[in-house]
């Protein structure tokens, strides 16, 4: 379980790295990104150490669904849903994934270009 011991988001989930936490339950954690790329930049992560989309097992379907539910809840609570928001998963290093623990970026508070950079 060396991956879990070293994992930044597992450390946040265990309180070993401080974060501005917006939501925590048995399965899902939401906290502000340390290096925000928009006025609102929240990360939604499973408590379970799942490295990326390929590592999601059939038994994790409920966790993944809950991640989207928490994104919606955070949007409601922070009142940015009316402005629109973008959900991003950088899956794999070439796509920009730095932290190998599945996470949903929730971005809002500015306009977003398409195609994304």
90 part of the interface to ligand 5GP, by CB under 6 A:
yes
Positions in 41-60 near Zn ion (CB under 5 A)? 49
Q: Which of 6, 17, 53, 55 binds ligand 5GP (CB under 6 A)?
A: 17
CA atoms within 13 A on the CB side of 110: 9
Burial of 29 (0-12, 13-18, 19+ CB in 10 A): buried
Binding track over 24-53 against ligand 5GP, x by CB under 6 A = -------xxxxx-------x----------
102 part of the interface to Zn ion, by CB under 5 A:
no
Cα distances from 8 to residues 19, 58, 59, 89, in angstroms, run: 11, 25, 23, 17
For 58, which DSSP code?
G
- Toward Zn ion, which CB reaches closer, 10 or 107? 10
How long, in residues, is the chain? 117
Q: Hey, which residues are catalytic here?
A: 103
Interface contacts to ligand 5GP, rule CB under 6 A: 8, 17, 19, 31-35, 43, 90, 96-99
């Amino acid at each position: 379980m060396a991956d879990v011991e070293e994992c930044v988001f597992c450390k946040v989930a265990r309180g070993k790295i401080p974060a501005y936490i917006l939501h925590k339950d048995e399965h899902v954690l939401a906290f502000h990104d340390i290096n925000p790329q928009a006025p609102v930049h929240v990360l939604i992560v499973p408590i379970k150490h799942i490295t990326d989309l390929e590592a999601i097992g059939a038994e994790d379907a409920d966790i993944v669904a809950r991640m989207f539910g928490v994104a919606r809840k955070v949007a409601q609570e922070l009142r940015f849903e009316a402005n629109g928001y973008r959900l991003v998963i950088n899956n794999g290093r070439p796509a920009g994934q730095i932290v190998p623990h599945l996470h949903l970026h929730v971005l809002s508070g500015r306009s977003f270009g398409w195609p994304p950079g």
